[in-house]
Amino acid sequence: MRAYRVAALQMTSVPDLHKNLAQAEELIDLAVRQGAELVTLPENFSFLGDEEAKIAQAEIICQASERFLKTMAQRYQVTLIGGGYPVPAKEGKVFNTALLISPDGQELLRYEKVHLFDVNLPDGNTYQESNIVISGHLLPDVFPSKDFGMLGLSVCYDVRFPELYRHLSHQGAEVLVIPAAFTEFTGKDHWQVLLKARAIENTCYVIAPAQTGFHNSRRQSHGHAMVIDPWGIVLADAGVEQGAAIAEINPNRLAQVRRQMPSLAHRIFF
């Protein structure tokens, strides 16, 4: 692992595949021009809208999303993480999938979101992700990147389940990637707190690309794509506008924090 710049992109995706991919390419270009070598896209980067419409177009969205990630990685010669996007499964449902792609367009790691967002919020909005998504049944793997360190993937609602990240840190994770479309109602109170907690308790960097703004008349995302260091310090915050949170991942800083706070070595229960 060496020092490198990472970008957590922030989008306002809508129910328009081609518009979303054009927006994503603009932000990838912006991030690369600012020196990012690892670029991460938020959950639902390619489509965010009515769930019935997503299911109806799932095969098209899936193929376009994967083709886009591979093409962009090759075109800009960067490592890309995109997810989740729908991958058709059985019984008319999909997996909410995150993908890690190398600069030569090769798939390095795939993760199917395990924890599904089935929640009735006090603001009147109801989310039932399990209506169209099948939960992944495998704990996420860690990808050993020579340049970028040990990378662990997750998606959005996973961030509320610390045991998943403990598994990743036990597998050697140094950088945790959490692409999300956090609601404004929950995000204003919990988003940064949860991201900091996952960084601190696992002494890992956290990269959290995000959705922001209104996607339709009711659904609003919190924004604040972030990069957080292993001590819990926010290195970059994209605010609420479309853009990118860009910061340096530094192995010396990671080693320093783990020396100062060697809590991973003090675990009793596994």
**Which of 37, 43, 66, 112 does the annotation list as catalytic?**
43
Q: Which of 54, 66, 112, 113 is catalytic?
A: 113
- For residue 129, CA distances in Å to 35, 73, 102, 248 come to 36, 29, 29, 34
Helix runs in 176-215, H state only: 184-202
DSSP-assigned letter for residue 134: P
- The DSSP-derived string for 12-55 is ---S-HHHHHHHHHHHHHHHHHTT-SEEEE-TTSS--S-HHHHH
Query: What residues contact residue 14 under an 8 Å CB cut-off, 6+ apart?
Result: 20, 48, 49, 215, 216
Catalytic residue among 156, 174, 196, 204: 156
Across 27-42, b (16+ Cβ under 10 Å) vs e yields bbebbbeeebbbbbbb
Cα separation, 253 vs 212, whole angstroms: 30
- The 8-class DSSP code of residue 165 comes to H
Residues 6+ apart with CB under 8 A from 170: 270
Listed residue (137, 133, 135) closest to 55, CA to CA: 133
Q: Based on the residue annotation, tell me whether 93 is a catalytic residue of this protein.
A: no
Provide the residue type at 101 as one letter. I
Instruction: At 65, give phi and psi (nearest 5°).
Output: -65, -45
Q: Is 113 considered catalytic here?
A: yes
Catalytic residues: 43, 113, 156
